[in-house]
Amino acid sequence: MSTLRHTLTLAEIGNTNRRCPMKSLSRSFVILAFGFSILAVLVGCSPQGLDDYNKGVQYQQTGQIDLAEQQFKIALQRNPEMAEAHLNLGLIYLNRGWYDGAETSTKKAVEIFERTQRTWVKGSTWRQTLSMAYNNLGAIEIGRSIEVASQFDLATAKAHWEKAMTFFGKAVELDPANSQAQVNIQRVKNAY
């Protein structure tokens, strides 16, 4: 079974430079609005940790996994509620075969997505991103099942496969277009 990989990228957060019809605004309101626009640019409109997360994604995409891991951890120090950083950190751990770390990080991402119902992933809904998290939880269970099956503990391996099917099913329920989860369901069915 191949390792499941999905790198997330964050959305650009709002455009503070939208044009307003100047004729409909009074002069004082325009000055006030301009002042707030400058303040928004100086203070920043994106969540804390966003730049660190984006650097992590860039490192991850270029195969610099150790640097990606560091950036995701920095992003989480600045913003522990950035579910995407938890999710990508979990993916790094999954690919390294550290299933406990992968599960902890991914479940934290799931908890945040379900509670906040938002994502910073450009072109994706929170449900689609949450679907990816459930798919990764399924992949973690597949990894665990392979480990225990190699030790001839087939009953435990089967329990992990069944858990994986539950996670893959949840992924498809959240996002029926999640082709990776659909493929994984077929792989598990064909393996039985």
Q: Give per-residue pLDDT as tens, 80-134.
A: 999 999 999 999 999 999 999 999 999 999 999 999 999 988 889 999 999 999 9
- Which residue in 70, 74, 75 sits closest to 50, CA to CA? 75
- CATH assignment of the domain containing 129: 1.25.40.10
pTM of the predicted model, to two decimals?
Answer: 0.75
Tell me if 21 is assigned to some domain: no
Residues 6+ apart with CB under 8 A from 140: 94, 99, 102, 103, 106
Lowest mean pLDDT among 43-52, 156-165, 174-183: 43-52
Residue 34 in domain:
no
pLDDT at 61: 94
Residue 122: give the domain boundaries: 85-191
pLDDT at 138 over 80: yes
pLDDT, average across residues 48-72: 95
Residue 28 forms part of a structural domain: no
How many whole angstroms separate alpha carbon 172 and alpha carbon 94?
20
Q: Which residue has tokens 């996002």?
A: 175
Say if residues 57 and 10 touch (Cβ distance below 8 Å).
yes
* 142-162 residue pLDDT tens: 999 999 998 888 999 999 999
133, part of any domain:
yes
Q: What is the mean pLDDT of residues 32-36?
A: 33
* Range 81-113 burial, b when 16+ CB lie within 10 A, else e: ebbbbbbbbbbbbbbeebbebbbebbebbbebb
Residue 110 lies in a domain: yes
Least confident segment among 14-23, 43-52, 102-111, 116-125: 14-23
8 is a domain residue: no
Residue 113 forms part of a structural domain: yes
Cα–Cα distance for residue pair 147/101, rounded to 1 Å: 16
Asked if residue 67 is part of any domain, the answer here is no
Q: How many domains does the chain have?
A: 1
